[in-house]
Structure 1
Amino acid sequence: MNKLRYDDIANRMPVEVCREFATFGALSDRAIMYLMNRGLVYSLQLKEELFTLGERSDRFYIVLQGKIAFYKHSEGNWAFMSDYSPGEQIGFVGMISLQPRVGWAYAESDSLVLEISCDLFHEFQMEYPEDFSVLMINLVREISRNLISVGDMLVDLTSSAPDNSNTG
């Protein structure tokens, strides 16, 4: 991963573009600029690793450009879970749950991501409390949508017609 400053990508990622991202939805321009300037921006090339199984989950990432794939590991097995596109976050659940990374994430195309560390997340809460509340709603909304998708996948994998003959 190549570390960049926001100044290096500001012409490709102006606040007007970032404002349209789901994770930044309804945040003030000042709040977005705070995160972009204080967070770390990384450039990843195709197939480059963002994080791997067992790493400490003390940060999450917002995809700015490109696509990030995530594979989950459990009991010796790997399964593709999701692609993350511009404006979506990856790694927030691990950070909040204080669990090590449960899988592997890599760039499916040349990508840019914004790293939000635990420290920056806390600083943002202190500096921009109203925007922090909006950010939390955006993050929880995305997690909720992912949970619905995972539930749908589970139904598809285990589906059988219920026996409705005994219902009133």
Structure 2
Amino acid sequence: MIKLHYDEIANRLPVEVCRDFAIFGALSDQAISYLIEEGTLFSLKVKEELFSVGERSDSFYIVLEGRIAFYKCSEGNWAFLSDYNPGEQIGFVGMITLQPRVGGAYMETDGTVLEISSELFHTFQIKYPEEFSVMMINLVREISRNLIQVGNMLVDLTADVGHKTG
């Protein structure tokens, strides 16, 4: 991972582009700029690890460019769960639940991510309380969609055509 300064990517990722990302939906340009400038930007190469199982979950990441694959680990078994694309977040659930990372995140393409630490998230809440509420709705919406996707995967894996209801 290579740490970046926003000036290095501002021409290809101006606030006007970031505004269209789901996680920033309905946030002001000022709030988006604050998060991008106060967060930590990283450039990653294909196959590079963003985080691994067991690491502290004291931040989450917003995908700005590229695609990330997330693999969940349970009792030594690994399974692919989801891809994360520009405008989506990864790691928020772990940060909020105060649990170590439960899997590994790996770049599927070259990309750029924005790390939002728990400290920055807290400061954002204080500095932009109304926008924080909107961002929370955006986060919950994305997590809810992920839960539906995982539920569908579970059904696909365990479906018993002889026991349909309804």
TM over 0.5: yes
TM-score, normalized by length of structure 1?
Answer: 0.96
Separation of aligned partners in 2, 1:109 and 1:84: 11
Residue 160 of structure 1: CA displacement? 1.4
Over alpha carbons, which structure has the higher Rg?
A: 1
TM-score, normalized by length of structure 2?
Answer: 0.97
Residue 3 of structure 1: CA displacement? 0.3
For residue 23 of structure 1, give the secondary structure of its aligned residue in structure 2: helix
Separation of aligned partners in 1, 2:2 and 2:120: 20
Separation of aligned partners in 2, 1:150 and 1:106: 19
The aligned length equals: 165
One-letter code of the match for 1:27?
L
Separation of aligned partners in 2, 1:89 and 1:76: 25
Specify the alignment match of 2:67 in structure 1.
Answer: 67
Query: Following TM superposition, where does structure 1 have runs of at least 4 consecutive aligned residues deviating by more than 6 angstroms?
Result: none
Residue 163 of structure 1: CA displacement? 5.6
Deviations 1:66-104 (A, max 9, x none): 011111100110001111100000000000010000011
Separation of aligned partners in 1, 2:104 and 2:130: 33
Unaligned runs of 5+ in 1: none
Separation of aligned partners in 2, 1:58 and 1:115: 10
Task: Name the Cα RMSD after superposition.
Answer: 1.0
Residue 126 of structure 1: CA displacement? 0.3
Separation of aligned partners in 2, 1:141 and 1:45: 29
Residue 140 of structure 1: CA displacement? 0.3
- Percent of residue pairs identical: 72
Separation of aligned partners in 2, 1:111 and 1:68: 8
